[in-house]
Amino acid sequence: MRLAFTLEYDGTNFSGFQRQTNAITIQEQIENAIKKVEGSDISINYSGRTDAGVHALSQVFDFETDILRDHKNWIDGINSNLPKTISVKKVFEVPIDFNSRFSAKERKYSYVIYNSKNKPLFFDRFSHWVTNKLDIDIMINQLQMFKGEHDFTSFKSSSCNSKNPIKTISNVDIQKINNFIIITISANAFLQNMVRIMVGTLIDIAKKENNFSISEIIMKKDRSFAGKTSPSRGLFFLGPTYSDNLRIDSLESSIFDRLKA
């Protein structure tokens, strides 16, 4: 039997999702919690390898088990052994060949900017504070240029080891609520730091500190033409999407609704 779970976490105090030898990670915390429930070592698959400081509203992980428990017991058992900054939300029975990463069709991220002269005292862990006035109309116009299939070499980190920089962005969106600007991007896959570099470039263009358009920067295929990498604290993984027949409710629709709540 294979089970898939969705979970959310505050990534502030973790060195990313993927298990590391000398650092505390989300994967390590989850696998240790499962071991206490299952009674044996478990290695999980996961849908997205978020970096240090990045948060998630609907990460997905899966593993195979012979233990029969109802869904509530699985959720309660795992959560009781996790820190308060990580929480399992839902569980689904999936086909034995399901893989959280390789079965995903798309992934969705949101980035939260707090645009104000005043410090976001209660949101500092979850937003990027920008004091310069950002031209939202410029950001809306430039953001649309990311849509479609492109070579995103200009928007990947120097340490990215992906062999294929060509990705397809299916949807982009930007919303403003009070001082918050939320940029949301959906794609079949992302390069390392891609969303954070995209956002940093949009900010530089909106501040008129970069005279190139997004389309021009894409065509350059050169990281030096893009903007600064935005801090990890503002980035949220909203989750992956899977084929309808899997019936996995794994995608958080919007961080905008969380801010309004």
pLDDT tens-digit readout, 139-176 = 999 999 999 999 999 999 988 888 899 999 999 999 99
Q: Are residues 205 and 223 in the same domain?
A: yes
Inside any domain, residue 55:
yes
**pTM, to two decimals:** 0.94
Residue with tokens 């699985």: 74
Q: For residues 62 and 79, is the Cβ–Cβ distance under 8 A?
A: no
CATH code of residue 187: 3.30.70.660
pLDDT over 70 percentage in the chain = 96
Do 8 and 36 reside in the same domain of the chain? yes
CATH number for position 31: 3.30.70.580
Catalytic residue among 10, 41, 51, 204: 51
Higher per-residue pLDDT: 40 or 31: 31
Q: Model confidence over 167-208: pLDDT tens digits?
A: 999 999 999 999 999 999 999 999 999 999 999 999 999 999
User: Is 152 in the same domain as 99?
Assistant: no
Residues with Cβ within 8 Å of 26's Cβ and at least 6 positions away in sequence, in order, are 9, 11, 14, 16, 17, 50, 59, 86
Does residue 221 surpass a pLDDT of 80? Answer: yes
Domain end among 103, 129, 147: 103
Among candidate residues 103, 136, 167, the one where a domain is terminated: 103
pLDDT in tens, 123-143: 999 999 999 999 999 999 999
The β-bridge relationship of strands 55-64 and 2-9 is antiparallel
Q: How far is CA 84 from CA 25, 32, 46, 53, 72, in A?
A: 14, 15, 20, 16, 18
Within-domain flag for 256 = no
User: Number of folded domains in the chain?
Assistant: 2
What is the gyration radius of the CA atoms in the chain, in angstroms?
A: 19
Residues 110 and 139 in one domain: yes
Same domain, 149 and 228: yes
Are 88 and 188 in the same domain?
Answer: no
Predicted confidence band of residue 259 (pLDDT cuts 50, 70, 90): low
Same domain? 59 vs 182: no
E strands along the chain, which residues? 2-9, 45-46, 55-64, 86-94, 106-115, 128-130, 148-151, 166-177, 180-187, 235-241
Whether 15 is in a domain gets the answer: yes
Give the integer Cα–Cα distance in Å for 128 and 182.
Answer: 10
pLDDT band at 260 (very low <50, low <70, confident <90, very high): low
- H/E stretch holding 138 reads helix 136-143
**Are 110 and 47 within one domain?**
no
**Identity of the residue numbered 142:** Q
Query: Does the pLDDT of residue 91 top 60, yes or no?
Result: yes
pLDDT of residue 38: 87
| 227, part of any domain | yes
One domain for residues 200 and 149:
yes
The tens digit of pLDDT for each residue in 222-234 reads 999 999 999 999 9
The reported pLDDT for the residue numbered 84 is 96
Residue 97 has what pLDDT?
Answer: 95
The Cα–Cα gap between 208 and 162 comes to 31
User: Does some domain include residue 48?
Assistant: yes
Q: Is 51 a catalytic residue?
A: yes
Domain that holds residue 172: 106-238
103, 136, 161 - which closes a domain: 103
User: Does the pLDDT value for residue 46 go beyond 90?
Assistant: yes
Mean of per-residue pLDDT scores for the chain: 93
Residues 66 and 149 both lie in one domain: no
